[in-house]
């Protein structure tokens, strides 16, 4: 890292130069590094990568695409390593890729997938599933990719079918780094030249990283638009070795806290990314009378990095006007600016910020509602806000709308004098800033022993709600279980994957399939089967190594898994492992004996079923990405009937509907409706915020 010894976020020192802290690595940069590392050839090393929920979602999606990623959920002091397979070597995932809350992950991956010979469905949580996708779908379609909406038009879930592409010139209507990056990644993967024009310059992390990886990037103003071109995309990409700088957007919350806390010691934030397309808040702070000293340092993968220091304030915080031309450079800092404005002298006017309506929440509406609720005068425009600063005490409950920046912006205000705020969903800060509340608590000048914010809700020990979903192959278990788990914020236990991993390990040990049932307890124990919840999705480790998705889905594993999972010793051996997966707030357990054997006390028991021909159609569609013909359906249906027979007549834990299980027939239900049906059954057991 070059600066200091400590890499992770936290407080470093409290003496001499005042308070010295670090913030987590930049999630915008880190997610690009993950994706580009996964397209490179050879091992990439990403130091100081943030471990927030967004980068974990992107890492999880890449792992599901067959890319080996080590340590995305490990300690921030350890680098993440990616075994880059090359530009077009990703594998067909078994299930839709769930990007949860990450807009950057979903949009950039859609671009990268447009050049892969795969057909992949991208999904996300409720907030991401409201955000517009046509802005990337349209240019990707023009390049030759298939992009279709699986549910409602214009939003996730969305299927991207990639293949050979042609170069285009894309003129976007909004300045969006996600759109620009999606198109650049598609062109890079397909090896075709491309030009993206944007009305204003958006953040340029992709361009800088591509250049650092040896790709030619041409940029400049052309005919009134900012133009970025890849004139000669290379045939392969060199791997990355970089340290991710601290996230300026995360640092901004601490800068604002310092600005609103007169009388405290000077605050220094070390090793922050100072890319000029990101630091647009600094000149605005200067106009507000908040001096931030910038101590530039070095470059990391083309990104300038340095320290930021806020001294003591001399005068009052002044209101400012911020217009359209300044918004792209501070697109994620409007929430914290609004909070500063609430304590500034005069009326702050923010305009040209319509894009804020389609972020993790409608940020203009969320800011207006919460500011008013706590006692600040606000006028809401279609594209901005007018905020009347006040010195009056402020109090009330803040509604986060599942938006990390709304939670943190009001968290900062709550940690200043004369504010008594309650944030309804503090945990959402983990999307970009794990450890935010702890850091805020440690830096702030204690105000009469009051905690910075109070988290709502009962303080009793949290319980784990278990949803057990059983059913036959192709009935929709995986899709439904994954989507329900993601919606509820629960773990998703895919018991089939555990049996597949064991089958794979036994096949690797060259045991003949007709001798599988001679496997001994010692042999099974020696496999050291363990579950790995890194990256938010379940993985299976055998002797410490995560079994790659493509091994789990290999044909020979598919052909043998029913035999292996019918062995009583195998089932007994894996029981505790599955039960230990249950953690608060909940678990969605999916398999064939979840409600009967593994979780007989599950709160909700569901048995999914569907007509065997429909199940056969879905299985083939999942494998090859297109609708099969009748003959193929009949052949697969015959195979499935054989499998059903094996599963339902085996000696132990046969597939059967548990007592009290609700049958959901999915023959005529789409994945969204299946998920809704399961969530409806779970509702009575969920805490109120669901
Ligand atoms: C991002 C770009 C911005 C920003 C988001 C991250 C990126 O979104 O708001 O937090 O990593 O490219 P838009 O491209 O939609 O403006």
Could you read off the pLDDT of 135-164 as tens digits, one per residue? Answer: 999 999 999 999 999 999 999 999 999 999
Q: Residue 123: beta bridge partners? A: 98
Average pLDDT, rounded, for the chain? 91
pLDDT of the residue at 311: 83
**DSSP of 599-614:** -TT-SEEEEEE--HHH
Mutate to test the pocket of ligand 1, among 178, 356, 363 (most ligand atoms within 8 A of CB): 178
CA of 104 to the centre of ligand 1 (A): 6
Say which residues have a Cβ less than 8 Å from residue 419's Cβ, sequence separation at least 6: 374, 393, 394, 395, 413
The whole-angstrom separation of Cα 652 and Cα 592 is: 11
Structural tokens at position 661: 């299980």
**In this structure, which CATH number among 3.40.50.300, 3.40.50.620, 2.60.40.1150, 3.30.360.10 belongs to the domain 465-685?**
3.40.50.300
- Centroid of chain to Cα 675: 20
CA of 566 to the centre of ligand 1 (A): 49
pLDDT at 61 over 90: yes
CA-CA distances (angstroms) from residue 276 to 57, 200, 527? 27, 14, 51
CA-CA distances (angstroms) from residue 345 to 282, 342, 348, 601? 18, 9, 9, 59
pLDDT of the residue at 652: 79
Residue nearest to atom 15 of ligand 1 (CA): 176
pLDDT of the residue at 670: 86
pLDDT of the residue at 688: 62
Could you read off the pLDDT of 251-280 as tens digits, one per residue? Answer: 999 999 999 998 788 899 999 999 999 999
Q: Which of 217, 206, 204 is nearest to 276 (CA)?
A: 204
State the closest ligand 1 atom to the C-alpha of 358, by its place in the atom list counted from 1: 15
Cβ-based burial of 407 (10 A; exposed 0-12, middle 13-18, buried ≥19) = buried
Q: Which of 310, 302, 356, 296 is nearest to 330 (CA)?
A: 356
pLDDT tier for residue 477 given thresholds of 50, 70 and 90: very high
- The answer to whether 403 touches 361, Cβ cutoff 8 Å, is yes
Please state the pTM of the whole predicted model: 0.67
C-beta atoms surrounding 644 within 10 Å? 17
State the closest ligand 1 atom to the C-alpha of 174, by its place in the atom list counted from 1: 16
CA-CA distances (angstroms) from residue 660 to 464, 579, 611, 663? 19, 20, 22, 9
pLDDT tier for residue 462 given thresholds of 50, 70 and 90: low
Instruction: For 27-52, give one letter per residue: b (16+ CB within 10 A) or e.
Output: bbbbbbbbbbbbbbbeebbbbbbbbb
CA of 114 to the centre of ligand 1 (A): 20
Structural tokens at position 686: 């969920």
State the closest ligand 1 atom to the C-alpha of 328, by its place in the atom list counted from 1: 16
Report the CATH fold assignment for 248-443.
Answer: UDP-n-acetylglucosamine1-carboxyvinyl-transferase; Chain (3.65.10)
**Secondary structure class of 624 (helix, strand, coil):** helix
C-beta atoms surrounding 509 within 10 Å? 11
Peptide bond just before 157 cis, omega within 30 deg: yes
- For the residues 665-671, what does the mean pLDDT come to? 87
Of the listed 98, 332, 430, 593, which one is catalytic? 332
- The answer to whether 628 touches 621, Cβ cutoff 8 Å, is yes
- Centroid of chain to Cα 250: 17
Could you read off the pLDDT of 626-665 as tens digits, one per residue? Answer: 888 899 999 999 999 888 888 888 877 788 888 888 888 8
The whole-angstrom separation of Cα 662 and Cα 658 is: 9
Start-end of H helices in 580-689: 612-624, 630-649, 671-682
Say which residues have a Cβ less than 8 Å from residue 503's Cβ, sequence separation at least 6: 557, 560, 561, 564, 565
**In this structure, which CATH number among 1.10.10.10, 3.30.590.10, 3.20.20.70, 3.65.10.10 belongs to the domain 27-234?**
3.65.10.10
**Secondary structure class of 69 (helix, strand, coil):** strand
Structural tokens at position 642: 């054989």
CA of 101 to the centre of ligand 1 (A): 13
pLDDT of the residue at 8: 58
- For the residues 101-123, what does the mean pLDDT come to? 98
pLDDT of the residue at 17: 64
Residue nearest to atom 11 of ligand 1 (CA): 28
Domain ranges in the chain are 27-234, 248-443, 465-685
pLDDT of the residue at 690: 47
The whole-angstrom separation of Cα 504 and Cα 519 is: 14
**Does the active-site annotation cover 125?**
no
pLDDT tier for residue 446 given thresholds of 50, 70 and 90: very low
pLDDT of the residue at 12: 66
Could you read off the pLDDT of 110-119 as tens digits, one per residue? Answer: 999 999 999 9
The whole-angstrom separation of Cα 305 and Cα 424 is: 34
Q: Which of 325, 204, 309, 295 is nearest to 258 (CA)?
A: 309
Q: Which of 172, 220, 224, 223 is nearest to 198 (CA)?
A: 172
CA-CA distances (angstroms) from residue 291 to 273, 288, 516, 532? 18, 9, 71, 46
Lowest-pLDDT choice from 451-460, 529-538, 570-579: 451-460
- For the residues 320-329, what does the mean pLDDT come to? 97
CA of 359 to the centre of ligand 1 (A): 9
Structural tokens at position 237: 């990409």
Phi-psi region of 681 (alpha: psi -120 to 50; beta: other; left: phi over 0): alpha
Terminal-residue alpha carbon distance, the chain: 41
- For the residues 355-380, what does the mean pLDDT come to? 97
* 248-443 against 465-685: fold identical: no
* Residue tagged 């000696």 (tokens): 651
Mutate to test the pocket of ligand 1, among 277, 331, 353, 409 (most ligand atoms within 8 A of CB): 331
CA of 177 to the centre of ligand 1 (A): 6
Residue nearest to atom 10 of ligand 1 (CA): 332
Could you read off the pLDDT of 163-194 as tens digits, one per residue? Answer: 999 999 999 899 999 999 999 999 999 999 99
pLDDT at 215 over 60: yes
pLDDT at 323 over 70: yes
* Residue tagged 């350890």 (tokens): 78
Mutate to test the pocket of ligand 1, among 133, 135, 203 (most ligand atoms within 8 A of CB): 203
pLDDT at 18 over 50: yes
The pLDDT > 90 percentage for the chain reads 70
The whole-angstrom separation of Cα 636 and Cα 211 is: 48
State the closest ligand 1 atom to the C-alpha of 32, by its place in the atom list counted from 1: 11
Q: Which of 490, 494, 461 is nearest to 598 (CA)?
A: 494
Q: Where does ligand 1 bind, in terms of residues with CB under 6 Å? A: 28, 104, 176-178, 181, 202-203, 331-332, 355
């Amino acid at each position: 890292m070059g600066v200091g010894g400590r890499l992770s976020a936290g407080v470093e020192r409290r003496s001499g130069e005042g308070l010295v802290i670090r913030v987590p690595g930049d999630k915008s940069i880190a997610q690009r590094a993950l994706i580009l590392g996964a397209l490179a050839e050879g091992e990439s090393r990403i130091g100081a990568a943030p471990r927030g929920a967004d980068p974990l979602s992107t890492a999880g999606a890449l792992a599901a695409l067959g890319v080996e990623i080590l340590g995305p959920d490990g300690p921030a002091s350890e680098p993440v390593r990616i075994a880059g397979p090359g530009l077009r070597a990703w594998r067909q995932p078994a299930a839709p890729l769930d990007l949860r809350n990450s807009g950057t992950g979903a949009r950039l991956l859609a671009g990268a997938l447009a050049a892969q010979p795969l057909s992949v469905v991208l999904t996300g949580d409720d907030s991401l599933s409201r955000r517009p996708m046509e802005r990337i779908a349209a240019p990707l379609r023009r390049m030759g990719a298939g992009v279709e909406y699986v549910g409602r038009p214009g939003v996730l879930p969305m299927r991207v079918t990639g293949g050979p592409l042609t170069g285009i010139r894309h003129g976007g209507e909004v300045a969006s780094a996600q759109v620009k990056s999606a198109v650049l990644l598609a062109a890079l993967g397909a090896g075709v030249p491309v030009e993206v024009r944007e009305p204003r310059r958006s953040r340029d992390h992709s361009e800088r990283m591509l250049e650092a990886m040896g790709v030619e990037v041409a940029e400049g103003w052309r005919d009134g638009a900012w133009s970025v071109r890849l004139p000669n995309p290379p045939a392969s990409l060199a791997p990355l070795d970089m340290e991710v700088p601290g996230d300026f957007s995360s640092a901004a919350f601490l800068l604002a806290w310092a600005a609103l806390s007169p009388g405290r010691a000077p605050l220094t934030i070390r090793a922050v990314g100072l890319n000029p397309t990101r630091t647009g808040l600094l000149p605005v702070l200067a106009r507000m009378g908040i001096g931030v000293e910038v101590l530039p340092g070095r470059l990391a993968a083309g990104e300038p990095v340095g320290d930021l220091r806020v001294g003591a304030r001399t005068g009052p915080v002044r209101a400012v006007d911020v217009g359209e031309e300044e918004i792209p450079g501070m697109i994620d800092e409007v929430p914290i600016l609004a909070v500063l404005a609430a304590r500034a002298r005069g009326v702050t006017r923010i305009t040209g910020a319509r894009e804020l309506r389609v972020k993790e929440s409608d940020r203009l509406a969320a800011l207006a509602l919460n500011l008013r609720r706590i006692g600040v005068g606000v006028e809401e425009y279609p594209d901005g806000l007018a905020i009347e600063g006040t010195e009056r005490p402020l109090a009330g409950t803040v509604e986060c709308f599942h938006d990390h920046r709304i939670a943190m912006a009001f968290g900062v205000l709550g940690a200043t004098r004369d504010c008594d705020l309650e944030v309804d969903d503090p945990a959402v800060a983990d999307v970009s800033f794990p450890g935010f509340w702890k850091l805020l608590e440690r830096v702030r000048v204690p105000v009469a022993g009051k905690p910075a914010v109070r988290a709502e809700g009962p303080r009793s020990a949290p319980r784990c709600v278990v949803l057990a979903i059983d059913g036959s192959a192709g009935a929709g278990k995986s899709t439904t279980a994954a989507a329900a788990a993601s919606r509820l914020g629960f773990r998703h236990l895919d018991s089939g994957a555990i049996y597949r991993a064991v089958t794979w390990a036994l096949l690797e040990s060259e045991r003949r399939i007709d001798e599988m049932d001679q496997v001994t307890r010692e042999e099974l124990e020696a496999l050291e089967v363990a579950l790995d919840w890194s990256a938010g999705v379940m993985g299976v480790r055998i002797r410490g190594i995560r079994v790659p998705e493509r091994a789990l889905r290999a044909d020979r594993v598919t052909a043998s898994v029913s035999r292996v999972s019918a062995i009583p010793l195998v089932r007994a051996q894996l029981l505790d492992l599955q039960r230990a997966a249950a953690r608060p707030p909940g678990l969605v357990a999916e398999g064939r004996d979840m409600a009967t054997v593994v979780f007989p006390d599950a709160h909700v028991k569901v048995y999914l079923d569907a007509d065997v021909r429909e199940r056969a159609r879905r299985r083939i569609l999942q494998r090859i990405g297109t609708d099969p013909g009748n003959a193929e359906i009949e052949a697969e249906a015959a195979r499935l009937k054989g499998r059903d027979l094996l599963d339902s007549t085996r000696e132990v834990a046969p597939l059967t509907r548990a007592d009290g299980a609700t049958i959901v027939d999915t023959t005529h239900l789409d994945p969204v409706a299946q998920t809704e049906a399961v969530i409806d059954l779970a509702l009575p057991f969920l805490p109120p915020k669901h």
